[in-house]
Amino acid sequence: MSGLISLKFIDLSTEPVAIHFSSASLNALNICLAIIMFGVALDIKWSHFVGLAKQKKVVATGLFSQFILLPLITVLLIVILPISPGIALGMLLVACCPGGNVSNFFSQLARGHVALSVTLTAFSSLLAFIITPVSFFFWSSLLPSLAAEVRTFEIDFTSLIINMVSILLVPLVLGMWVSARFPSFSKKFRALSE
């Protein structure tokens, strides 16, 4: 699961940045994310997802906001703020990447529509191997100072699927099952997090 996303730049010699995650730290991060997703899933029922199937406008609005609005606002911020190309590319990469389990957790804390957040996370994660590089190249091409910096963008599809299953799908299904089967445990677990 190392190196889920790999970027190569032409020249960022003025900003030498190297980020290396050991496999142990990646495993610890993934375990923490899976626990967060499990906790979030204790509040979700299958009926929440069934209800979303009837609310296509809500899902479409969420996907539009995630894939178009967030990167657009990021590009506008890059144009307005006096930031270096390296920082700008980092901001743009974050805006183009799929939402994650932490967004699901914050939706739960804010008493938002958690099933919608999980659905958006699943859609964006499933399509990330196509949407993330296309979105990143498209939005960076709008800014000449960034377009010249990006050379390649690679996503490890196998790691992406393994991550999605291990930190999203399995904890989601397990949490929903535990909540349905052992409601008293779910209440105690939720009480600990509040």
pLDDT in tens, 131-171: 888 888 888 888 887 777 766 666 677 877 787 788 888 88
pLDDT value, residue 120: 82
Q: Which residue has the tokens 């495993």?
A: 27
pLDDT in tens, 58-101: 888 888 988 899 999 999 999 998 888 888 888 888 888 877 76
pLDDT value, residue 71: 93
Alpha carbons 78 and 61: distance in angstroms, whole number? 24
Task: Out of 51-60, 127-136, 183-192, pick the least confident.
Answer: 183-192
Task: Out of 43-47, 76-80, 112-116, 173-177, pick the least confident.
Answer: 43-47
pLDDT tops 70 at residue 173: yes
Residue 95 backbone class (left: φ over 0; alpha: ψ -120 to 50; beta: rest) = alpha
| Domains of the chain, CATH where assigned | 34-193 (1.20.1530.20)
Bridge partners (DSSP) listed for residue 9: 150
pLDDT value, residue 72: 95
Helix residue spans in 5-66 (DSSP H) = 23-41, 46-53, 56-64
pLDDT value, residue 19: 57
CB atoms within 10 A of CB 99: 20
pLDDT value, residue 78: 92
Provide the angle, in degrees to the nearest 10, between the axes of the packed helices 85-96 and 70-80. 170
pLDDT in tens, 6-43: 555 444 445 544 556 677 877 888 888 888 888 878 87
